[in-house]
Amino acid sequence: MGLDIRWPIGLMFTLIGALLAIFGLANSADSVTHTGGQEININLIWGIVLIVFGVLMLLGAMGGKKTPPSA
């Protein structure tokens, strides 16, 4: 079985992160949270976090073992 679970996880998180970051950029006035005088675009921040995690998973999948162990 050559299925590496990091491929679908990485693709899913990267795609959802990209959608969330684009949404945060497009609706920057609506998705801003006011905290202590600061304006934080939470959708953009979490979109970037999800993209980074997804890319790390994809890099781990690419660098993983290519051949299954012999029995």
70 assigned to some structural domain = no
> Which structural domain, as residue segments, surrounds residue 38?
6-62
39 assigned to some structural domain = yes
Going through the chain in order, the beta strands assigned E by DSSP cover: 32-35, 38-41
From the list 61, 67, 63, the residue with the least C-alpha distance to 8 is: 61
Q: 35: part of which helix (H) or strand (E)?
A: strand 32-35
18 assigned to some structural domain = yes
The 10s digit of each residue's pLDDT in 41-55 is 889 999 999 999 999
The 10s digit of each residue's pLDDT in 4-58 is 899 999 999 999 999 999 999 998 776 677 677 678 888 999 999 999 999 999 9
pTM of the complete model beyond 0.85: no
Place of tokens 């202590």: 36
Q: 38: helix, coil or strand?
A: strand
Q: What b/e sequence results for 16-33 when a residue is b if at least 16 CB atoms lie within 10 Å of its CB, and e otherwise?
A: ebeebbeebeeeeeebbe
